[in-house]
Amino acid sequence: MSTIVSRLDITQIFCDVDEFCHQWENWWQQVPQLPSITGERRSKSRMHLSEVMTIVIAFHGSGYRTFKEFYTLQVLPGWGKAFPNLVSYTRFVELMPWCKI
């Protein structure tokens, strides 16, 4: 059984997702935004939106049953060079809702 990750190059997936994110962010900047609440904190992530989305897409085509297994067994030990700013599993799970744009 082949998976999407074995059939496609993770670099190509990232390039396509990154291009989409740049276009989406340019569009988002043109849309009027609600004012932020006084004292509201907006934390920055070490990982870019396109990196988070690429990993989530790769999981869905990976064949792993759980995301935790995929992230701890595949991503953390093997994809560090591709994603130099990887975060812990717990932090990544906190970032996942961010990629549901």
User: Can you spell out the DSSP letters for 4-56?
Assistant: HHHHS-HHHHHHHHHHHHHHHHHHHHHS--PPPPTT---PPPSS-HHHHHHHH
pTM assigned to the model: 0.70
pLDDT at 90: 94
Instruction: Please indicate whether residue 4 or residue 32 has the higher confidence score (pLDDT).
Output: 32
Per-residue pLDDT tens digits for 11-21: 888 888 888 88
